[in-house]
Amino acid sequence: MKHYNFDETLERHNTDCVKYDMMSQLYGREDLIPMWVADMDFRSPDFVMDAIKQRCNHDVLGYGIPPEDYNKAIINWLAKHYDISANRDELHFIPGIVAGIAYVLLCFTNPGDKVIVTTPVYPPFLNLPKESGRELVCSPLKKTDGRFSIDFDDFEQKSKGCKLFILSNPHNPAGTVWSKQDLCRLAEICHINNILVVADEIHADLTLPGHRHTSFSTVNEIAKAESITFMAPSKTFNIAGLGSSTCYIANPELRKQFFGWLDHLGVAGGNIFAFTGAQAAFSQGEEWLDQLLHYLKGNVETLKNTLGEKLPDVKVMLPEASYLAWLDFSAYSLSHQELNNLIINKARIALNDGTTFGGIAYEKHFRMNIGCPRRTIIEAVERIATALHSL
């Protein structure tokens, strides 16, 4: 068995990457530990890199089509991991999930239509409806026993008159894994209100040992018929830069409408490396993923222990899936601006500002990306602790 080394330090500065090379633009300085945008500081898997290098042996990089083996690799992955028995016609390539959600908004809703989300949530879920003239309806999540839970009374109330629900399953920013029961209840409310559900399951493969992801479409026949699911190897295998994702729709009418719209407009073509990379990842990635998940679980433990020891007043929601932790600094009497200043200019860490996930209610929260070598987490917490203790 091959052993993958997730403790390795990789130099990513000056590689035109968002995480490192956009910090001076976004945070005003570049000497920060980047723990923000959701990609990991781990080597993309060797089998993906090899497949891409091999594709480069052909001298023409013209337009490509998804190869049959690429489709088969996805179908096998969905059957094995999620109990989804998809056939070829039920899948469509999408060049990124944010693009996919934008396309759903354009295809199924009109300006002025209401779109519901549960906050805090991945910022494009808020910005896409707002910027396209839809009315954004936010149903805040509750905090129950240190984790997020859905406020079903609020959701039920606010969902009346909505056309679309964008669900993060598992949930970004805290890596919350929704139970089958939660998803059934959401499906029921959406069905009663005639709401189409967009299930963004980009983080599903990274559900950590001890937790179980349920794909929204599998909870019952209603959910299957009234949803559009997006999935991707981007987060799983740290290949987000390939822009490779998949849309799954079981309902033939919805499929005809959406896939027909995509093909008619020609907005969902893929780059050839997106096909090659995803095919290699899904057909050869089990062992790599298994080792990654155990490493990430260790990172979660490390964050929990280091915070407990150095910063017990910072409350953390630990991820049940993926590598994003939600930190709450409410115990400190610092303003939003003071907190940001402390974390960026004193601790010198780049985190995601909580307000971007749903506004002022989250002004004392930050999202921390712990998809990195373990020692980075320890150093980051120590630096934040030193900065806070020096006040």
Ligand X SMILES: Cc1ncc(COP(=O)(O)O)c(C=O)c1O
Least distance CB 317 / ligand X (angstroms): 15
Counting contacts by CB under 6 A, is residue 41 touching ligand X?
A: no
The residues pairing with 140 across neighbouring beta strands, listed in sequence order, are 119
Stretch near ligand X under the rule CB under 6 A, chosen from 49-57, 184-192, 232-240, 274-282: 232-240
Residue at token pair 């805040």: 140
Least distance CB 1 / ligand X (angstroms): 30
Report the distance separating Cα 258 and Cα 198, nearest Å: 12
- Our CA dihedral for 62, 65, 69, 70, rounded to 10 degrees, sits at 100
DSSP assignment letter at 248 = E
Least distance CB 332 / ligand X (angstroms): 27
**Residue in 168, 352, 355, 369 binding ligand X, rule: CB under 6 A:** 168
What is the separation of C-alpha 290 from the centre of its chain, rounded to a whole number of angstroms?
19
The three state secondary structure string of 266-315 is CCCCCCHHHHHHHHHHHHHCHHHHHHHHHHHHHHHHHHHHHHHHHCCCCE
- Our CA dihedral for 216, 219, 220, 225, rounded to 10 degrees, sits at 10
Counting contacts by CB under 6 A, is residue 320 touching ligand X?
A: no
Least distance CB 138 / ligand X (angstroms): 16
Pairing outcome for strands 114-119 and 162-168: parallel
Counting contacts by CB under 6 A, is residue 202 touching ligand X?
A: yes
Q: Which is nearer to ligand X, 240 or 314 (CB)?
A: 240
Least distance CB 341 / ligand X (angstroms): 25
Counting contacts by CB under 6 A, is residue 98 touching ligand X?
A: yes
Counting contacts by CB under 6 A, is residue 232 touching ligand X?
A: yes
Least distance CB 234 / ligand X (angstroms): 5
Counting contacts by CB under 6 A, is residue 306 touching ligand X?
A: no
Number of residues this chain uses to bind ligand X (CB under 6 A): 13
Counting contacts by CB under 6 A, is residue 177 touching ligand X?
A: no
Counting contacts by CB under 6 A, is residue 300 touching ligand X?
A: no
Counting contacts by CB under 6 A, is residue 200 touching ligand X?
A: yes
Report the distance separating Cα 313 and Cα 363, nearest Å: 16
Burial of 21 (0-12, 13-18, 19+ CB in 10 A): middle
Q: Which is nearer to ligand X, 140 or 311 (CB)?
A: 140
Stretch near ligand X under the rule CB under 6 A, chosen from 95-103, 133-141, 177-185, 212-220: 95-103
Q: Which is nearer to ligand X, 126 or 232 (CB)?
A: 232
Least distance CB 101 / ligand X (angstroms): 8
Least distance CB 326 / ligand X (angstroms): 13
Site string for ligand X, 245-274 (x = CB under 6 A): x-----------------------------
Counting contacts by CB under 6 A, is residue 352 touching ligand X?
A: no
**Residue in 34, 45, 66, 96 binding ligand X, rule: CB under 6 A:** 96
Site string for ligand X, 114-153 (x = CB under 6 A): --------x-------------------------------
Report the distance separating Cα 198 and Cα 186, nearest Å: 12
> Other C-beta atoms within 10 Å of 15: how many?
10
What is the separation of C-alpha 288 from the centre of its chain, rounded to a whole number of angstroms?
19
Stretch near ligand X under the rule CB under 6 A, chosen from 94-102, 208-216, 303-311, 313-321: 94-102
Least distance CB 117 / ligand X (angstroms): 11
Quick check: 59 and 263 in contact, CB under 8 A? no
Report the distance separating Cα 94 and Cα 262, nearest Å: 9
Counting contacts by CB under 6 A, is residue 38 touching ligand X?
A: yes
Alpha helices in the chain (DSSP H): 18-21, 23-27, 46-55, 68-82, 97-108, 123-131, 152-158, 180-192, 221-225, 252-265, 272-284, 286-310, 336-341, 374-389
> Other C-beta atoms within 10 Å of 210: how many?
8
Name the site residues for ligand X (rule: CB under 6 A). Answer: 38, 96-98, 122, 168, 172, 200, 202, 232, 234, 240, 245
